[in-house]
Amino acid sequence: MKLEVCCADLASLRAAVEGGAHRVELCQALGLDGLTPSAGMIEMAVESRITVHVLIRPREGNFVYSQDEVECMARDIRMARSLGAHGVVIGALTEKGDIDLATCQRLMDEAQGMHVTFHRAFDVCRDPLTAFEQILSLGCDRLLTSGHERTAEEGIPLISQLVEIAKSTRRDGDFNVLPGSGVSVENAARILKETGAKEIHGSLRKDGHTDVGMVRSVVATIS
């Protein structure tokens, strides 16, 4: 079992590393649900010798992007790659609430050779099962989701279903459904057990930053 910690500042990054997290999702402006971090932050995260996945999101708000915004995301992926990031976290929707396949394919092409997570834009799409099949077909490595609910704990039924679909569709075993939102020391093990997922995602914050003790506790709980 693996823990990915969402880090939006350098103090949180340090806590995730010291706490034994297996991977970080690096972003900034968590109050805006996360935006692409700076080049300096990415470089420092990579130097910390933890697996680093960089959120690619150019602005707050919805996930329907203009051509200029798509170009900006493509350039941010190139930046993340050049700085040594191991993966990126992407997502885009159409105005109707479906996966924007053209945009996502453009971003996938830019991310060749890197791990790719589809982010929680999935949780506001109109048809989660159709969207999940499209995410699988794009070649993403994982999906971060709360199961179309407010928290991953509430979304256990759908997350469990997605885990089973992934097992039957991607027989090479290289796709992970990553439960996230509201993950805590108290519920992490239950979410993993009841969904069948092998990885879990949380910010594990106290006083506005990731707490090293909480990270250690979750790692111990799921190991």
3-state DSSP assignment of residue 203: coil
Query: Of all residues in the chain, what percent carry a pLDDT higher than 90?
Result: 96
Q: Are strands 205-206 and 142-145 parallel, antiparallel or unpaired?
A: unpaired
pLDDT over threshold 80, residue 83: yes
pLDDT over threshold 60, residue 172: no
Q: What is the pLDDT, as a whole number, of residue 168? A: 86
pLDDT digits (tens, 9 = 90+) for 41-80: 999 999 999 999 999 999 999 999 999 999 999 999 999 9
Q: What is the pLDDT, as a whole number, of residue 115? A: 97
pLDDT digits (tens, 9 = 90+) for 99-143: 999 999 999 999 999 999 999 999 999 999 999 999 999 999 999
- The closest of 33, 1, 4 to 143, measured between CA atoms, is 4
**Mean pLDDT (whole number) for 26-43:** 96
Interatomic CA distance for residues 40 and 193, integer angstroms: 37
Q: What is the pLDDT, as a whole number, of residue 174? A: 83
Average pLDDT, the chain: 96
Using an 8 Å Cβ cutoff, are 25 and 222 in contact?
no
pLDDT band at 3 (very low <50, low <70, confident <90, very high): very high
Residues 6+ apart with CB under 8 A from 140: 108, 116, 117, 118, 175
pLDDT digits (tens, 9 = 90+) for 186-204: 999 999 999 999 999 999 9
Q: What domains are defined for the chain?
A: 2-222 (3.20.20.380)
- The closest of 209, 217, 68 to 200, measured between CA atoms, is 217
pLDDT over threshold 90, residue 173: no
pLDDT over threshold 80, residue 171: no
* Token pair 């709360």: residue: 146
Q: What is the pLDDT, as a whole number, of residue 170? A: 66
| Phi, psi of 151, rounded to the nearest 5 degrees | -130, 160
| Phi, psi of 91, rounded to the nearest 5 degrees | 170, 145
- The DSSP string of 54-93 is EE---SSS-S---HHHHHHHHHHHHHHHHTT-SEEEE--B
Interatomic CA distance for residues 82 and 134, integer angstroms: 28
